[in-house]
Amino acid sequence: MDKRQMLIVDDEEVNRIILSGVFEEEYEILEASNGQEANELLQSNHNIALILLDIVMPVLNGFGVLNYMKDHDLLEKIPVILITSEEALDSDDQAYSYGVADVMHKPFYPHIVQRRARNIIELYDNKHNMEANLKKQADLIREQERKIRENNEFMIDALSSVVEFRSLETGEHIRRIKYFTRIMLKYLMKYFPKYNMTPELIDEIARASALHDIGKIGIPDAILLKPGRLTPEEFEIMKTHTTIGCDILEKFKDNQDSDFYRHCYDIVRYHHERWDGNGYPDHLAGDDIPISAQIVAIADVYDALVSTRVYKSAYANNMAYDMIMNGECGQFSPDVLECFGLAKEDFFNIVEVIKMFTFS
């Protein structure tokens, strides 16, 4: 195994000879007689365990080396012991401000330099090993979280698809709702910071949106698949899919206080609420409606309009957009409508692309 390197930087040859003699059995010794030579060695050598650095040197002094190391993020990686003359005592504070590991004064005792050097190298090695282990553990945790998210998303999509299978839809509704929701939330994050939206929150809400109609599992086929307009009594039954969905979520929840569960619950229960209070099941109005449910609500209405259902033909993209903006499908908040306007072309493109792949 190759020896690790030690860089000795001192304009006095006798000091370099003494220090080399102390460390040459354990380390490959690199020598520099000034700061410029030291910086050149730092550029070409990447296995340096420690630098023994003089301050007062010709061409470029020790602080020139420290500046170079600071500019190239080397001070955290390579420990430095500053070896300086008694006359340079006022430089100690300046040296420590750079982050040097230790300061020793000439004349030095070789065995003391050796002991301090070993302690510092061991300390830095332990620090770097700990950082590497922490990074490895963090990477492992992230990978485990990714797999859990993928598994959860698979189960969510599978459970949600049961509704589509029962209602004889194409299977693309859930996928489109997730796309629409994610796009709307990105515009919300960009233009409406008051909602404190983050990429992580967007991901959670988009995944939760797949469950918005899970309660339709509990709606009788005679109502769910009816090709014509529902009677008032049948519509009252259809509206219960919001509360049935919440009952289903209650049975599956692991932690009622989790953010993801709360997003699922809010979307399932409130995605038919409207800004003016004329929605259902709780007739919430305004900002009492969770923003996640508001976003999924407009996505759901748009997708229903542009999709063929057992009770209707599909509307054209522009017509569906105009119907929503004109308030023909219930009232939505000004913020949500503004995001919908910004997302108009994105929505149109998603519908057309999915149609192309569906019928290809």
The CATH number of whichever domain residue 236 belongs to comes to: 1.10.3210.10
In a shared domain, residues 220 and 339 = yes
Q: Which domain does 46 fall in, by range?
A: 5-135
pLDDT at 170: 47
pLDDT at 91: 66
- Residues 115-120: what's their mean pLDDT? 92
3-class SS of residue 5 = strand
* Domain assignment present for 150: no
pLDDT at 258: 82
DSSP string, 151-168: HHHHHHHHHHHHHHHHTT
Average pLDDT, the chain: 88
In a shared domain, residues 252 and 131 = no
In a shared domain, residues 247 and 333 = yes
Give pLDDT tens digits for 292-336. Answer: 999 999 999 999 999 887 677 889 999 999 999 999 999 999 999
* pTM listed for this prediction: 0.62
- What's the CA gap between 162 and 160, in Å, rounded? 5
Per mean pLDDT, which range of 122-131, 247-256, 293-302, 340-349 is the poorest?
Answer: 247-256
Q: Are 239 and 281 in contact (CB under 8 A)?
A: yes
Which listed residue (106, 216, 226, 253) is catalytic? 216
Q: Are 217 and 252 in contact (CB under 8 A)?
A: no
Number of structural domains (the chain) is 2
In a shared domain, residues 110 and 259 = no
In a shared domain, residues 115 and 41 = yes
Per mean pLDDT, which range of 3-7, 86-90, 105-109, 191-195 is the poorest?
Answer: 86-90
* Domain assignment present for 73: yes
pLDDT at 2: 76
* Domain assignment present for 298: yes
In a shared domain, residues 44 and 173 = no
For residues 228 and 33, the model is more confident at 33
In a shared domain, residues 184 and 326 = yes
Does residue 67 register a pLDDT over 90? yes
* Domain assignment present for 69: yes
Give pLDDT tens digits for 176-194. Answer: 999 999 999 999 999 999 9
Per mean pLDDT, which range of 59-73, 150-164, 203-217, 303-317 is the poorest?
Answer: 150-164
- Looking at residue 95, which CATH number applies to its domain? 3.40.50.2300
* Domain assignment present for 191: yes
In a shared domain, residues 185 and 280 = yes
Q: Which of 119, 135, 151 is the last residue of a domain?
A: 135
* Domain assignment present for 151: no
- Residues 259-272: what's their mean pLDDT? 94
In a shared domain, residues 211 and 352 = yes
What is the strand order of the sheet 5-9 is part of?
Answer: 28-32, 5-9, 48-54, 80-84, 102-105
- Residues 47-71: what's their mean pLDDT? 94
3-class SS of residue 78 = coil
Does residue 356 register a pLDDT over 80? no
* Domain assignment present for 156: no
Annotated catalytic, 216?
yes
Written as one letter, the residue type at 149 is R
In a shared domain, residues 115 and 244 = no
DSSP string, 218-271: GS-HHHHT-SSPPPHHHHHHHHTHHHHHHHHHHHH-S-TT-HHHHHHHHHHHHT
- Residues 263-292: what's their mean pLDDT? 97
Q: Which of 86, 119, 135 is the last residue of a domain?
A: 135
In a shared domain, residues 131 and 173 = no
For residues 167 and 12, the model is more confident at 12
* Domain assignment present for 297: yes
Q: Which of 95, 114, 135 is the last residue of a domain?
A: 135
In a shared domain, residues 123 and 181 = no
